[in-house]
A and B are shown apart, each in its own frame.
Chain A
Amino acid sequence: MAYDKFNIIKSSAVPLNIDNVDTDQIIPARYLKATERKGFGDNLFRDWRYNSNNEIIKDFPLNNEDYSGRILVAGKNFGCGSSREHAVWAIYDYGFRAVVSSFFADIFKNNCLNIGVLPVQISEDFLDELFSEVERDNNSQFEINLPKQSISIISNGQSENFNISKYKKENMMNGFDDIDYLVDRKEDIITFANKIPR
């Protein structure tokens, strides 16, 4: 599915300082029953945003009015567990375009790159800096610059670079996905398949 091109975003950030956040927390299984990609943002972090009586849990960062922005800053090993792409759809549909952490689970990272959410992997030290900065000033602005592969804290100029493959970077900047690439090479694939019948 086509997504908005990603170039540079400047935004405040929502902090989620918890490690090992699994995709069951990002979107619980009972919200995976749709047959179309619609409305997943409403159920992002469902069981951390609402209690069992469906009341809002006020101090959860997504419900805390102090925090807003298109960047989610999260503790290490973010997105572990289930391969459900619904987790990334929920993040995207809620309005985030980038997730920043010191470590991502593999499948989650691939899913992000496939639908236009940028996973920004930085050092643990810089991640701590980001958390303290949001704590100091919840409106503090950050810049994620994809062409330069950098993330910076605008108030103090601190910045760090992140890795992304050249191929994926170009995809993100153009709003392309892998299917566009593969469809163009279908003939090669068919030739390959016929060479080794299995």
Chain B
Amino acid sequence: MGKTLFDKVWDNHVISKIENGPDVLFIDRHFIHEVTSPVAFVGLKSRNLKVLFPDKTFATADHNTPTINQHLPIKDVLSAQQVKTLEKNCEEHGIDFWGLGHKMNGIVHVIGPENGITQPGLTIVCGDSHTSTHGAFGAIAFGIGTSEVEMVLSCQSIMQQKPKKMRITIDGKLNDFVTPKDVAIYIISQLSSSGATGYFVEYAGDVFKSMSMEGRMTVCNLSIEMGARGGMIAPDEKTFEYLKGREFSPKDKEWDNAIKNWSNLKSDSDSVFDKEISFNASDIEPMITYGTNPGMAVPISKEIPDFDNSGSEASFSKSLKYMNFKEGDVMLGKKIDYVFLGSCTNGRIEDFRSFASLIKGKRKADSIDAWLVPGSHKVLKSIKDEGILEILESSGFKLREPGCSACLAMNDDKIPAGKYAVSTTNRNFEGRQGPGARTLLASPLVAAASAITGKITDPREII
């Protein structure tokens, strides 16, 4: 029997197996940030351990950092202390630290790929659940807890039970204005927010093949929102093209070797998955969420259903009550207050291009507060270099500096209680974007259309 892509990469990293227990898995790349790493370093200290391979760990400050005036000292005392602690820990252990103001700084899942650190066939972890993003390159990438961060720092490995395998195939051609974000939300709405728990997902079929690397990252990023440990896509010419010449990508002869190895990274035709699911591309429409988990989503032109199957009736009503929505409500035309473009889900250059393509020549509604936050300094630079900034500014939008920002609202970027935000992020949990904030997850196109009209708007109506 053949092997799946996931098997190939996993088996290649197993140092040893424990009977009736987890595998000991070698980790190639480790990303750390200021929020989930400090206690791991405290642990190292108390056990008197060192970082085993400092050059396999990369550090950035993103979760807790301000998105305006980054050249000034961080005002929030605790945030400042967290960033300072990370800097100190990195210095002490010889880890590369890309702090605020550094030209490589940005959201951890944006900077990994754009600098070529993320590569096919690798195992990649980070104390952040959206590490699944890196699976877009055919890597096994998943989020870990702080105890595991300590394991990777001290032993460059982790103990994990091998998950089951699921393949999601979507063939056909996507409708106009349907983006990778819509594809991912559609899948989650079909499977529910726990439908892939216990599985590692491989995405296959025409839709993912023709998707850009940025789009693939958006899809893999959202794998965790249906409970999956991660998602991955077999590397192809597009993957190689994207990686070629990036800072940490292999060079010269190593590059040729790498391509040879990477080309074998696909599921064998006779490999077997524990679960196979398929959808038709043409069934997917621009999507929007109405509840408090990403599975509570509908095509933008549809009403809120009477019930969904993701939880009990009581949990469903609790969600709608939080959102102040009712069963049967039409989503289109609902008034909103904020628009947020950014995060490791939709904060890459392609997302800004897509947003700008719709607002070009139009104006932001006066009633809307719009926060546009690039995923990294490199994204910010491209926004300027490509003339996107001009388009944004002449439509009444302002740009902020890179970071996670209102995706988790740890810094000052909090949506006020009771307000509605159309957000390109990944979680519409209660209070995720600020205590009492009401989040509607959608694509950059839906966000742009809604920013122009001040209410939930189908991008197809704007053109």
A29 to chain B, nearest CB (A): 4
Contact B197 A105 (CB under 8 A): yes
Contact A183 B155 (CB under 8 A): yes
Contacts of B463 in A (CB 8 A): none
Contact B155 A167 (CB under 8 A): no
Interface residue? A107 (CB, 8 A): yes
Interface size class of A (residues with CB under 8 A): 35 or more
Contacts of B227 in A (CB 8 A): 77, 80, 105-106
- Mask for B428-462, Cβ within 8 A of A = 1, else 0? 01111001100000000000000000000000000
Interface residue? B210 (CB, 8 A): no
B142 to chain A, nearest CB (A): 8
Closest to B200 in A: A106
Interface residue? B85 (CB, 8 A): yes
* Docked CA distance A181–B297 (Å): 43
Contact A82 B52 (CB under 8 A): no
Check A115/B18 contact, CB under 8 A, given A33-B82, A186-B155: no
Contact A179 B194 (CB under 8 A): no
Number of chain B residues close to chain A: CB under 8 A:
76
Check A47/B42 contact, CB under 8 A, given A106-B197, A111-B147, A182-B24: no
B51 to chain A, nearest CB (A): 12
Check A75/B312 contact, CB under 8 A, given A18-B318, A168-B21: yes
Contacts of B171 in A (CB 8 A): none
Interface residues of B in 401-422 (CB under 8 A from A): 408-410, 417
Q: Which of A17, A18, A82 has the most CB of B within 10 A?
A: A82
Contacts of A24 in B (CB 8 A): 408, 427, 429-432
Contact A84 B431 (CB under 8 A): no
* Docked CA distance A47–B82 (Å): 23
Interface residue? B305 (CB, 8 A): no
Interface residue? A140 (CB, 8 A): no
Contacts of A28 in B (CB 8 A): 431, 435
Check A20/B36 contact, CB under 8 A, given A47-B435, A165-B161, A198-B28: no
Of B121-129, B236-244, B270-278, B325-333, the segment with at least 4 beta carbons within 8 Å of chain A is B121-129
Interface residue? A56 (CB, 8 A): no
Check A35/B38 contact, CB under 8 A, given A167-B22, A182-B155: yes
Contact B43 A1 (CB under 8 A): yes
Interface residues of B in 142-161 (CB under 8 A from A): 142-148, 150-151, 154-161
Contact A32 B35 (CB under 8 A): yes
SS class, residues of chain B in contact with chain A: loop
Interface residues of A in 2-48 (CB under 8 A from B): 17-20, 22, 24-25, 28-30, 32-37, 47
Closest to A192 in B: B15
Contact B431 A47 (CB under 8 A): yes
Closest to B49 in A: A183
- Name the one of B81, B151, B198, B429 contacting A22, with C-beta atoms under 8 angstroms: B429
Contacts of A1 in B (CB 8 A): 43, 46, 147
* Docked CA distance A198–B9 (Å): 13
Contacts of B42 in A (CB 8 A): 35-37
Contact B128 A83 (CB under 8 A): yes
- Mask for A42-76, Cβ within 8 A of B = 1, else 0? 00000100001000000000000000000000011
- Name the one of B18, B53, B315, B436 contacting A19, with C-beta atoms under 8 angstroms: B315
Contacts of B211 in A (CB 8 A): none
Contact B435 A84 (CB under 8 A): no
* Docked CA distance A84–B224 (Å): 13
* Docked CA distance A115–B16 (Å): 23
Contacts of B157 in A (CB 8 A): 182, 189
Contact B161 A188 (CB under 8 A): no
- Name the one of B22, B38, B129, B150 contacting A179, with C-beta atoms under 8 angstroms: B150
* Docked CA distance A58–B158 (Å): 42
A3 to chain B, nearest CB (A): 10
A188 to chain B, nearest CB (A): 6
Check A19/B310 contact, CB under 8 A, given A29-B410, A83-B128, A85-B145: yes
- Name the one of B161, B410, B417 contacting A32, with C-beta atoms under 8 angstroms: B410
Contact A179 B47 (CB under 8 A): yes
- Mask for A82-110, Cβ within 8 A of B = 1, else 0? 11111010000000000000010111001
Interface residue? A185 (CB, 8 A): yes
B15 to chain A, nearest CB (A): 5
Interface residue? B314 (CB, 8 A): yes
Contact B410 A33 (CB under 8 A): yes
Contact A114 B147 (CB under 8 A): yes
Contacts of A165 in B (CB 8 A): 20-22, 161
Contacts of B26 in A (CB 8 A): 189, 192-193
A141 to chain B, nearest CB (A): 26
A192 to chain B, nearest CB (A): 5
Contact B143 A83 (CB under 8 A): yes
Contact B409 A115 (CB under 8 A): no
Contact A18 B43 (CB under 8 A): no
Contact A25 B430 (CB under 8 A): yes
A-B contact pairs, 18 of them (CB 8 A): A20-B293, A22-B427, A22-B429, A29-B409, A30-B435, A35-B81, A36-B38, A80-B193, A82-B408, A110-B145, A110-B148, A111-B145, A165-B20, A178-B148, A185-B16, A188-B15, A189-B52, A193-B53
Known: A179-B150, A182-B154, A198-B28. 5 other contacts (CB 8 A): A17-B312, A34-B38, A81-B427, A168-B21, A179-B154
Q: Nearest 10 CB-CB pairs, A to B?
A: A167-B21, A19-B311, A85-B145, A33-B78, A111-B145, A114-B147, A83-B143, A35-B38, A182-B155, A166-B20
